[in-house]
Amino acid sequence: MGTVKLVARPDRTQFSVASYLPEIARGMLATNRHFWRNLFGHRDAPTRLYPEAFQRKEYVYPERFRGRHRLMKREDGSPRCVACMCCSTACPAHCITIVAGEHPDKQREKYPVKFEIDLLLCIFCGNCVEACPCDAIRMDTGIHPAPGTDRAQFVWTREDLLEDGGPSIAVQGGTHR
């Protein structure tokens, strides 16, 4: 290990130190120095000419960008989700709400009566995708969630999530077609 350097603590009993007046003055000097230097000095500062010669910055999403959520469908159009609650358990933001119900088909145990994701709480970490044993939820659309003006627009229901979800190529048991 290295040596320890002791730093002297300022004496806070003095009025000038306790009132922080010298530090406020130093901060104001730095602010004034930057103001006057930017006003008269830097002529080569990069600027964007707006709106006269608008230059649009081209933004490219990173390769690892996942995009918004989608629920996958079975061949008959029903959601692949079996309401096992793995995705909502793995979610660190607790933004997934699932209400399970008995499936009318006795071959299937249960299905999500209600499946909602609150995108204002979601941190798009992908833990829900990793936790899903049925390949029912994915984040591979590459589409950024659209902006909105109302909180209700950001709570996506099962029907909203099924819009982008096509039939999955995964087959129960871990094999692919």
Q: 3-state DSSP call for residue 163? A: helix
Q: What is the pLDDT of residues 29-47, one digit of tens each?
A: 999 998 988 888 766 666 6
Residue 122 included in any domain: yes
> Residue 123 belongs to a domain with what CATH number?
3.30.70.3270
Cα(140)–Cα(26) distance, integer angstroms: 51
Residue 37 included in any domain: no
Q: What is the pTM for the complete model shown?
A: 0.61
**Residue 79 preceded by cis peptide, ω within 30:** no
At residue 168 the predicted structure's pLDDT band, cuts being 50, 70 and 90, is low
Confirm if 168 and 80 have CB atoms less than 8 A apart.
Answer: yes
Residue 47 included in any domain: no
Q: How crowded is residue 138: how many other Cβ atoms within 10 Å of its Cβ?
A: 22
- The residue-averaged pLDDT of 14-27 equals 86
More confident residue, 3 or 41: 3
Residue 148 included in any domain: yes
Output the six-digit token pair for 19: 């009132």
Tell me what pLDDT residue 177 has.
44
Confirm if 121 and 69 have CB atoms less than 8 A apart.
Answer: no
Residue 28 included in any domain: no
Output the six-digit token pair for 20: 């922080």
Domain extent, residue 104, equals: 70-176
Residue 88 included in any domain: yes
Residue 35 included in any domain: no
Work out how many domains the chain is built from and give that number.
Answer: 1
Residue 86 included in any domain: yes
